[in-house]
């Protein structure tokens, strides 16, 4: 049988870690089913524990000829998809660009704690810009430098030319910068617009909006 997937995600309006591999999964064109766990509910931890050995989401369950197995952690899921679907070219072809894309993806995976804390993802809402700490401003500046440098070097339209895991890892930042009205240079602003116009981001946004309208987020 063709490889199929079940993707366990959290509330779309809030779950930034789920959004990252969701964009990568959509880029592969593969068939998948979604299993949405509502966050910030009394039963959230119990529901997550049923599906995830780490007690965290997202989780990708792979249904293949060789059997069924699960992968957790956003970056690990993206790497698994890149390996299984080389035709999607989720990493750049050129070695130097590929190495840099991996480095900036890992930097997002491990860093930017102040940005995450002060600008939590709230995909479907527009909110006031909070009083940003100096550390948060430094992290925002770092993201904007990463984006503008990569776009200038690759020529766009995405960070390393075509859509890659690096773009997937920064997709929630595009949402955060929009939600909180973060000032950006023109190149970064245009990049955010291109990202949010992707069908995957547009569909995610519609689901997030529905959650907000129905009181789920």
SS (H, E, C) 40-53: CCCCHHHHHHHHCC
| pLDDT tens per residue across span 148-180 | 999 999 999 999 999 999 999 999 999 999 999
Task: Please name each of the domains of the chain with its CATH number.
Answer: 4-88 (3.40.30.10), 95-200 (1.20.1050.10)
How far is Cα 158 from Cα 77, in angstroms, rounded to an integer? 21
Whole-structure pTM value:
0.95
For the chain, give percent helix, strand, coil, nearest 5: 55, 15, 30
- CA neighbor of 37 nearest in space, from 27, 51, 24: 51
| pLDDT tens per residue across span 42-100 | 999 999 999 998 999 999 999 988 889 999 999 999 999 999 999 999 999 999 999 99
């Amino acid at each position: 049988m063709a490889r199929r997937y079940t993707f366990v995600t959290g509330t779309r309006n809030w779950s930034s870690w789920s959004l990252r591999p969701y964009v990568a999964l959509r880029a592969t064109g593969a068939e998948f089913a979604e299993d949405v766990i509502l966050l910030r509910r009394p039963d959230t931890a119990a529901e997550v524990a049923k599906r995830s050995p780490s007690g965290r989401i997202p989780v990708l369950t792979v249904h293949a000829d060789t059997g069924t197995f699960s992968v957790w952690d956003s970056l690990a899921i993206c790497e698994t998809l890149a390996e299984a679907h080389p035709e999607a070219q989720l990493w750049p072809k050129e070695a130097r660009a590929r190495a840099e894309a991996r480095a900036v993806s890992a930097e997002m995976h491990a860093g930017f704690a102040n940005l995450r804390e002060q600008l939590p993802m709230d995909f479907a809402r527009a909110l006031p810009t909070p009083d940003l700490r100096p550390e948060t401003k430094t992290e925002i500046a770092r993201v904007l430098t990463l984006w503008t440098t990569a776009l200038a070097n690759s020529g766009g339209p995405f960070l390393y030319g075509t859509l890659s895991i690096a773009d997937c890892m920064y997709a929630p930042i595009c949402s955060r910068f929009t939600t909180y009205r973060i000032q950006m240079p023109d190149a970064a602003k245009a990049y955010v617009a291109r990202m949010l116009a992707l069908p995957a981001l547009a569909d995610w946004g519609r689901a997030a909006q529905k959650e907000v309208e129905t009181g789920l987020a």
